[in-house]
Amino acid sequence: TEFTHVLSIVRGQVRHPDGAVVAEAYVSSTDANGEYRYTTADAEGRFLLLGLPEGTFTIRAEDPASGLAGEAAGTLPDASQPF
């Protein structure tokens, strides 16, 4: 019997355009199925989102102090396939 457990992890660091770290930024993701996940970055702007499914996703980060926000998109491969 073979068991496979796949868990995707998306991690990063939120920074302003000038390179300054955004402490405790609000970070959210939306995948191709419309599922929404969110977290809060730590004091160094680092965040971790767990369990995103394969396919496309969008990450949005917002600075709670200034209200500035930005987005980035990406694609997670099918983790059951070698690459």
pLDDT tens column, 24-71? 999 999 988 899 999 999 999 999 998 888 889 999 999 999 999 999
Return d(Cα 35, Cα 3) in angstroms, integer. Answer: 25
Cβ pair 13, 46 in contact under 8 A: yes
For the question of whether the overall pTM of this predicted structure is more than 0.75, the answer is yes
Return d(Cα 47, Cα 39) in angstroms, integer. Answer: 7
Other beta carbons within 10 Å of 27: 23
